[in-house]
A and B are shown apart, each in its own frame.
Chain A
Amino acid sequence: MLDHSKADKITSDLLRSIRMNKSFVVWMGILGISLVICLYAYTIQLREGLGVTGLRDYVSWGMYIANFVFFVAASLIGMLISAVLGLSGQKWITPITRIAEIIALAFAAVAGLVIVSDMGHPERLLNVFMYGRIQSPIIWDVTVVTVYVLLSTLYLFIPLIPDLKICHDKIDNITPLQSKIYKLLSLNWKGTAEQVALVRKMIRAISIFIIPVAFGIHTVTSWLFASTLRVGWDSTIFGPYFVTGAFVTGCAGVIIAMYFYRFNYKLGDYLTDFHFDKMAKLLVLVSLVYLYFNLNEYMVPGYKMKKFDALHIHDLFVGNHALLFWAVQLGGLVIPIILLLFKKMRTPKPMLFIAIAVFIGAWFKRYIIVVPTMEHPFLPIQNVPLNFKIYTPTLTEVLINFAPFVLVLLIITILSKVVPIIPVQETIEEFEETHK
C-alpha cells in the first residue's frame, strides 16, 4: 500500500513538468527570435557567398568545422551513459539516461546542418548521394552520422514506450489530441511480461550496436583531419583523442542539463547530490584520459620539434594562439580535474560552474585544433592580403554558428516539455526492487 502511494508520487513528480507555463513560452519566444536572427545571417551568406566569413584560401576551414566537431562530440554522451555504463550494470544512471539521450539526439541531428552551413553550394547537397565516392571520409561521416541519429532516436524512443502510456493515462490537463498522440506512440503498451521482455531485449541490442557507431562518428570526424598531411592533424591518435574529448564535452553538457532540471523542474529527490557526485567522478575519469591523449598529442612533436611541427607548437605554446591554448588546456581541463578531486566541489552549484568552463573550453579546443593548423601550411603564405594569413571570424559567421545551438536548445526544450525527463517506469521499478 505504501509502495503504491510512493509510485503515484513518483509518477506525479516526474510528470509535473509536462505542462504549458509562462516561462516556457517566454523561453521559446527568445529562442525563436534568436533563430530568426541567425537564419537572417545565413541568408546573407547564401546571397553573398562564404566571403562574408573570415575564411580565406589558407584558413579555409574555421569556425564551422570546429563547431561541427563540437556537435558530433557532444552527441557521444548518449552512448557513454546509457550503453557503456548501462551494459556494465551501473544503476545510478537511471535518472540521467534520458537527459543524456535527448542531448545526444539533439546534437547529432543538428551536426549535419552545421556542416551544410559550411558548404559553398548547399543546394548541391544531393551530389553527395548522386556522385558519392566511398574513398572520401566525408561520405563515411555522412553515413555513420545518419546511422547514429537513427539509432539515437530509437534509443530515446524505445525506453520511452512505457512512459508514453503513463503519460496517456495520468496526465489530465492536456488536449484530447495530445492524449491520443501519447496513446498512438505508446504502441499499445500494456506492460505484459512479453512486452517488457521484448523492450528489454531491444534496448540491449541497441546498447550494444550503438557503441561502435558512436565510436565511428567521432573517429571518422577526426579522420577528416588525420587523413590529411597537415601539421597538427597528421596524427595516428586522432581517433581516440577525439572520442575521449567527446566524453569530456558530453559529461559537462549533461551536468549543466542536470542542474537545470533539478532546480527548474524541482527534481531534487531524483537528481540527487549522489548523482552529481557520480557525474563529477565520471567527468574526472574521462578528463584524465583526455589529458593523457593531450600529453601525447603535444609532447611528442614538441619534444622533437621537426621544422613544421615546431612552427605549429611554437604558435600554440607561446605564439598567436597561446592565450587561447593555455586557457583551454588549463581552464577547461587541468583545473576542473583538480577542483573535482575535492568532495565539496562535487556538489551541484560548483559543478555547474566547472561544467560550464569545461563545455566552453571544449568548444574552443576544437577551434584550436582546426584553425592554427590551417594558418601553418608547409609553404609560406605570400602575395595575399593580411586577412588571408590571420583568420578572424566575422559577426555573420558567429551568428550562423550560433544557430545550431539555438536549434539544439529548441529540440531539448520541446522534448523535455512533452516527455518525462526522468524515466518514470524504470524509477518505479527500481524503487520497488530496493524496497522489497
Chain B
Amino acid sequence: MSSNEEKPTKKSRRDFLQQIGVVGLGSVLGGSAIMAGINYDQKKKASDRVKILTAENELMEVEKSALSAVSKPKAEDLAYLQKHGREGLAGKRWVMVIDLSKCRNARKCMAACQDAHHLRPEQHHINVLKMQETKNTPAYYMPKPCQHCDNPPCVPVCPVDATFKRQDGIVLIDNERCIGCRFCVAACPYSSRIFNWSDPLHEEEDKDLVYNVELNVPQRKGTVSKCLFSADRLREEKLPYCVSACPNGVYYFGDENEDAVTNGTTKETVRFKKLLEDNGGYTLMPELGTKPRVYYLPPKGKEYPFQEKDKEEAAEHLG
C-alpha cells in the first residue's frame, strides 16, 4: 500500500493509458455501429422508403418513419378559415343555372339553405319568388339566390372590406369584420342580402363554434348575411345545399372554366354553354351591368302548373 502512495505518477499514467484504451475501443465500436447503420439504411432502401411528389412537382424519396400526416385544415382555427375563405378555390369560376320550367315551388332549397346556415324562417339566402312580368304573360316560380355578380354593386360600397369577391367568383361576407351599416343591402338590386336584426336562431347552441366565413355560421347579431354558393361544400367537392336538396331538377351547378354543370337532382353533367344555348339562357336584369354568375332558363313548357293560390301574389308586382 505504501509503495502506491510513493508513486502516484506511475499509477496515474497507467490510468491514463487505460482510459485511452477505453475511448479508443469505444470509437472503434461506435464507428462500426455507424457503418452498420449506413449499411442497414442502404439495405432497407427499396422496401422502407417512399416516393413523394413535392408541391413543386419534384419526385423525392423519404424514409417512411420520417413521414407524418399533413395537418388537416383545422376547423377550429379562425385565422386559417378566414384566410382560405377570402382566397377561394383557385382555378374555379362557379356558375349556377336555374331551370324555371322545372320549378314547382317545392321550397326544399330554401329549407336546406336555412338549415345549413342557421337562419330563421323569414331569413332567405335563397327565396322562391312568384313572378309575373306582364298581365298577359304567365306567372312562374323563380328561385333567387345571390347572383354572385362579376360587377357586384354591393362590394365596393362596403367601407371596411367585410364583403368581398373571391377569385372563384363567389361574393362572401365576413361577419367578424362587418360593422352593420347595411350599405351593401341598399346597393343590391336583387334584394339578396339579409341582416341579423336580433339574436340569431341558434345563438346559444352555436356560441362555441369557430366562425367559418364560407358557411357564415355562427350567424351574428348586427351583421349582414347572404348566400355563399355553399362555399364550404364546394371546398369538399360537393354541390351546394340548395342544389342537392331540389327534388325537381331545377338546379345545375358547376365550373365555367370546365364548361360543365351538374344537375343537383339527376347528377347528370352537361356542357354549361350548350345548356344555355339550347334553352335560351339569360341573366336577371342584365341592363344593370352587374354581370350575374347565376343564369336562368326560361319557364318555357312548364312541367308543373302555376298554383291558383299564388296567382294574386305574383300579380302584385305588376304595378
Contact = CB atoms under 8 A, between A and B. Distances in A.
Contact of A138 (B144, B159, B313): B159
Contacts, number: 153
Interface in B17-75: none
B90 interface: no
B222 A50 contact: yes
Given A120-B221, A382-B130, A227 B157 contact: yes
Interface in A213-253: 224-225, 227-230
A378 interface: yes
B101 interface: no
Nearest to B132: A380
Contact of A56 (B190, B197, B317): B197
B186 interface: yes
Contacts of A50: 180, 195, 197-198, 222
A72 B273 CA distance: 50
Given A120-B223, A228-B186, A60 B195 contact: yes
Given A49-B197, A128-B179, A377-B191, A136 B223 contact: no
A436 interface: no
A127 B178 CA distance: 8
A61 interface: yes
Contacts of A115: 181
Contact of B186 (A51, A130, A230): A230
A19 interface: no
A125 B183 contact: no
A357 interface: no
Nearest to B198: A51
A380 B317 contact: yes
A228 B153 CA distance: 7
Contact count band on B = 35 or more
Interface string A291-312: 0000000000000000100110
A130 B177 CA distance: 10
B158 interface: yes
Given A58-B191, A227-B187, A378-B189, A307 B319 contact: yes
Contact of B179 (A119, A314, A377, A382): A119
A132 interface: yes
Interface in A176-190: none
B194 interface: yes
A44 to B, nearest CB: 12
A310 B134 CA distance: 14
Nearest to A381: B191
Contact of B197 (A55, A130, A142): A55
Contacts of A374: 186
A390 to B, nearest CB: 13
Interface of A: 48-52, 55-58, 60-61, 115, 118-122, 124-125, 127-128, 130-133, 135-139, 142, 224-225, 227-230, 307, 310-311, 314, 374, 377-385, 388
Q: List 3 A-B pairs, minimum CB-CB distance, nearest first.
A: A120-B180, A120-B222, A51-B198
Given A49-B198, A118-B181, 17 more contacts: A52-B198, A56-B195, A60-B195, A61-B185, A121-B222, A128-B160, A131-B177, A133-B158, A136-B159, A137-B183, A138-B159, A227-B187, A228-B157, A230-B189, A379-B317, A380-B313, A388-B122
